[in-house]
Amino acid sequence: MKQFIPILLLLIFAPKLIAAPNVQQMFNDIEPQVIKWRHHLHQNPELSNREFETAKYVTKHLKSLGLEVQTGVAITGVVAILDSGKPGPVVALRADMDGLPVLEKNNLLWKSTKRGELEGNDVPVMHACGHDTHVAMLMGTAEILVNMKSQLRGKVKFIFQPAEEGAPRGEKGGAELMVKEGVLDNPSVDVIFGLHISSATDVGKIRYKEGGIMAAVDPFKIVIKGKQAHGAYPWLSVDPITTAAQIIMSLQTIVSREIKLIDEAAVVTIGSIHGGNRSNIIPNQVELVGTIRTLNKAAREHMYEAIPRKVKGIADSMRAEVEVTLPLDYNYPITYNDPELTEKMVPTLIRSVGRENVIYSKPVTGAEDFSFFQEKIPGLYMWIGGKPLDVHVDQAPAHHTSEFYVDDSGMKTGVKLLTDLTLDYMHLH
């Protein structure tokens, strides 16, 4: 397995800042409360930009700790500051708060039965991606760091973010809006840490990678305009359906023949195609909607050039007109772990969970709006395990599904990791 830097040197120079027995007892003591918070949040999920009760729940806890709290950031976001009173860096820790329009099928005492409104429709709501655990872990981390204030240098900014899953149509939200509203300012943040629980990773383990760890996402739309005709007389048409078929197949050659895949993966997916309404009518127009996923800047820039080129060339050859909208309505940058920061913090990962539980990971083509923070300041984003050890990875329920499940015992690792990263970074600067 590839190691990012020599582990022996990391261990020799790794900071040893915490009196382990006392701090370990703090983690043990707070775990039941973190679980209680998680169960409440899981039973009461809210959709993106509608996390009003979640925000109140978080705010009440942060104020009980004596923290300076700001609410209503990017609609429902909550931000708190812990000031050590000593000079030092500003470390930000982030948790996302929103649920998904998914009907939970788990048989849990604390399962969700909540409903919400999405684009005028009544929908079920579930924490089907683990954001309930993220919030509970950061609430626990805030309490521990307040109790360890004498060991801090500088400030900690706790960011509880709405709408990571995407704002409702016609609205802004998430990390992008938080950044625009100045969440990384006053005080200016030096570094940010975030984590995501994983239903396919064993409890107690951490996965990390420097550089691109999650893909940029760039939705696009292609509108093909032809000439309508009777299906029995296709020579009288300019057929947008045949043109669409050729475009769909040709887009895959950008990945297979133009992207240097030995560096990083790339994906082009058409997820929606609409055109026509009868078997014997060739329509005037076909609409394609798709997504691009890339893991490095060069591949992303190439996609932006290649898709319009391919589409226009095929449309011209078929005598059709074409319009390409790229990006369509939103886009996320690459979730990019700053290499220098990653190298510096690997010893902390090892110290937190043991070398055997730190896994150098491959990137994934899913996306995360944590990337908007990383565009502005160095950031490190990691996965922590939520899969029970007695469940085989092939049987682990996937994220964004009705059966999604992560075990409560995985959260203790997250609380410890966020605490250790904060303390170690502060004492390295």
Point out which residues pair with 364 in neighbouring strands.
Answer: 214
Cα 120 from Cα 123, distance rounded (Å): 9
- Is there a catalytic annotation at residue 98? yes
Whole-angstrom distance, CA of residue 314 vs CA of residue 304? 17
* Parallel/antiparallel/unpaired status of strands 121-124 and 68-73: unpaired
Contacts of 361 (CB under 8 A, 6+ apart): 207, 208, 209, 213, 383
Dihedral of the alpha carbons of 291, 293, 298, 299, in degrees to the nearest 10 = -80
Give yes or no for a cis peptide into 327 (omega within 30° of 0).
yes
Beta bridge mates, 154: none
DSSP per-residue string spanning 311-322: HHHHHHHTT-EE
- Which of 46, 143, 164, 176 is flagged as catalytic? 164
Question: 90-96 and 229-230 as β-strands: parallel, antiparallel, unpaired?
Answer: unpaired
Catalytic residue among 98, 143, 165, 424: 98
Active site members: 98, 164
